[in-house]
């Protein structure tokens, strides 16, 4: 049995903040109260009025996923230590449905890869083929704790798209069994029409990536998905929402849950004009500053429920300058900078830190069925937390990143990295140095 007592931290929760002591035994929080006497054989960490946040649950990562020409740059083994350094103790990643595989087989393949993760890890089930046998697997998967599924309204060329009718059929089954449907929401017809004007021409600069996927694509898709959620009574989670118009539409439908990403809050389409503009190509693309300010308002109004990194990084060599936008691998890294950059922004914008906790811990836990043991600092819950010194806010942190990548999107941004990170009771980062953590736990909803 190991005891750990954290004293005098300002514990920031979803609904308040207070100086508290936290007693941890093995993996769990035993007590949290203003004054706890240490038991025998207890390590004590004096948090000394620094801030304590619940560990971040990043609901959206893509570790080592196949693309046209290889894989995204971080594997579970390289991406998860980087995540821990940014205070992310849980990642939720996605299965990849290869041709001929059942959903269960694709899930098992992914679970095996996720065994390398040092973060606790859950897997969403991608449905990129519409077949009766695939649909028939859904109820059983939900019963066994895999209750979140993802579909795409686009990527027809990669054979990943489902039509709206097919999505409605999937949503009907998931809704009946109380699962959740996640949707990449960009209308394929809108993208096709917008792209046609650039096809075969000289307009291949990264800025045309944005113009080929206009804001209207998100608006049209969210409108259709909102209607589907109402008709099927299925909760639909809009991944990586990025436009003011899409957000306004999403708020019309009570069964839609909304995620946005740090790059849509912190960056804009102006990045495409930089000499390394190709590195910022992701789908959906970066938007205007007005869009990003609308998202900041949406966070404050409770219209956006979570912030996921959509971590899908590539190195400089994977995205050479001058590559036509159509051939640039889509995606950016961000799991390590997710919380540190957002915390700095929340401080600079004088926003409520409890809101940040809701967006990055308690809401993702509740939405994905993990909220009886993760997402909050409470007795009986997993001891996932971080200690942050707010005075360590800095713009000079890039060289301290713990990633295998040679490029990062947030150079010169303010950030506050945690100095101590505890995952299920284990001190995995101690004074910014990683110990040799045990492997993460495979998570299932509701168990
Ligand atoms: Zn994604």
CA of 60 to the centre of ligand 1 (A): 6
CA of 263 to the centre of ligand 1 (A): 12
CA of 333 to the centre of ligand 1 (A): 11
Q: What residues does CATH 2.30.40.10 cover in the chain?
A: 3-53+374-434
Q: What residues does CATH 3.20.20.140 cover in the chain?
A: 56-367
d(CA 51, CA 79): 25
Q: What integer pLDDT is reported at residue 69 of this predicted model? A: 78
Query: At residue 447, does pLDDT exceed 80?
Result: no
CA of 240 to the centre of ligand 1 (A): 7
d(CA 107, CA 174): 17
d(CA 303, CA 291): 14
Of 19-23, 195-199, 292-296, 386-390, the poorest mean pLDDT is in 195-199
Check: CB of residue 339 under 8 Å from CB of residue 294. no
Query: At residue 197, does pLDDT exceed 90?
Result: no
The token pair that represents 102 in the structure block: 């059942």
Q: What integer pLDDT is reported at residue 96 of this predicted model? A: 97
CATH superfamily of domain region 3-53+374-434: Urease, subunit C, domain 1 (2.30.40.10)
CA of 163 to the centre of ligand 1 (A): 19
Residue with tokens 């713990």: 402
The token pair that represents 211 in the structure block: 């113009």
| pLDDT band at residue 1 using 50, 70 and 90 as cut-offs | confident
Q: What integer pLDDT is reported at residue 198 of this predicted model? A: 82
pLDDT tens digits, one per residue of 112-167: 999 999 999 999 999 999 999 999 999 999 999 999 999 999 999 889 999 999 99
CA of 165 to the centre of ligand 1 (A): 22
Q: Would you call 261 helix, strand, or coil by DSSP?
A: coil
Residue 152, Ramachandran bin (φ over 0: left; ψ between -120 and 50: alpha; else beta): beta
CA of 73 to the centre of ligand 1 (A): 14
CA 307 → CA 259, 326, 383, distances in Å? 5, 27, 21
CA of 161 to the centre of ligand 1 (A): 14
Q: Would strands 306-307 and 420-423 be described as parallel, antiparallel, or unpaired?
A: unpaired
CA of 314 to the centre of ligand 1 (A): 14
Check: CB of residue 354 under 8 Å from CB of residue 15. yes
CA of 111 to the centre of ligand 1 (A): 18
CA of 373 to the centre of ligand 1 (A): 25
pLDDT tens digits, one per residue of 311-361: 999 999 999 999 999 999 999 999 999 999 999 999 999 999 999 999 999
CA of 395 to the centre of ligand 1 (A): 27
Check: CB of residue 91 under 8 Å from CB of residue 61. yes
Q: Once rounded to an integer, what is the mean pLDDT over residues 165-191?
A: 98
pLDDT tens digits, one per residue of 235-261: 999 999 999 999 999 999 999 999 999
Give ∠ CA 311-312-318 in degrees, rounded to 5. Answer: 145
Cα torsion for 138, 242, 287, 210, to the nearest 10°? 20
CA of 61 to the centre of ligand 1 (A): 7
Check: CB of residue 14 under 8 Å from CB of residue 354. yes
CATH 1.10.3720.10 holds for 56-367: no
CA of 431 to the centre of ligand 1 (A): 32
Specify the length of the chain in residues. 447
d(CA 24, CA 365): 20
């Amino acid at each position: 049995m190991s005891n750990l007592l954290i004293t005098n931290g300002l514990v920031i929760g979803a609904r308040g903040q207070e100086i508290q002591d936290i007693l941890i035994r093995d993996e769990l929080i035993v007590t949290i109260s203003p004054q706890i006497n240490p038991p025998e054989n207890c390590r004590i960490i004096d948090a000394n009025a620094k801030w304590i946040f619940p560990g971040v649950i990043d609901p959206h990562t893509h570790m080592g996923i196949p693309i046209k020409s290889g894989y995204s740059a971080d594997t579970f083994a390289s991406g998860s230590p980087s995540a821990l350094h940014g205070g992310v103790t849980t990642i939720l990643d996605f299965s990849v449905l290869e041709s001929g595989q059942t959903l269960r087989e694709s899930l098992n393949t992914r679970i095996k890869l996720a065994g390398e993760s040092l973060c606790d890890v859950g897997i969403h089930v991608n449905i990129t083929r519409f077949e009766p046998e695939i649909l028939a697997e859904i109820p059983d998967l939900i019963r066994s704790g895999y209750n979140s599924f993802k579909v795409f309204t686009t990527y027809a060329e990669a054979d990943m798209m489902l039509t709206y009718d097919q999505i409605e059929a999937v949503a009907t089954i998931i809704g009946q069994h109380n699962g959740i449907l996640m949707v990449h929401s960009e209308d394929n017809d809108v993208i096709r029409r917008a792209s046609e004007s650039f096809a075969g021409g000289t307009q291949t600069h990264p800025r045309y990536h944005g113009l080929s996927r206009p804001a209207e694509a998100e608006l049209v898709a969210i409108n259709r998905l909102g209607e589907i959620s109402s008709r099927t009574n299925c909760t639909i989670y809009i991944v990586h929402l990025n436009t003011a118009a899409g957000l306004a539409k999403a708020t019309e439908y009570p069964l839609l849950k909304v995620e946005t990403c740090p790059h849509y809050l912190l960056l804009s389409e102006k990045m495409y004009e930089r000499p390394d503009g190709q590195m910022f190509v992701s789908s959906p693309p970066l938007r205007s500053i007005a869009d990003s300010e609308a998202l900041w308002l949406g966070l404050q109004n409770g219209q956006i429920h979570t912030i996921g990194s959509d971590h899908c990084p590539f190195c400089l060599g994977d995205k050479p300058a001058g590559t036509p936008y159509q051939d640039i691998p889509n995606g950016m890294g961000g799991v390590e900078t997710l919380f540190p950059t957002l915390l700095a922004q929340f401080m600079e914008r004088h926003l409520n830190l409890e809101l940040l906790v809701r967006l990055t811990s308690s809401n993702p836990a509740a939405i994905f069925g993990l909220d009886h043991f993760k997402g909050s600092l409470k007795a009986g819950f997993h001891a996932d937390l971080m200690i942050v010194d707010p005075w360590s806010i800095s713009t000079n942190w890039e060289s301290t990143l713990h990633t295998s990548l040679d490029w990062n999107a947030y150079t010169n941004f303010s950030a506050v990295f945690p100095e101590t990170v505890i995952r299920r009771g284990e001190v995995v980062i101690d004074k910014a140095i990683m110990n040799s953590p045990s492997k993460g736990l495979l998570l299932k909803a509701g168990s």
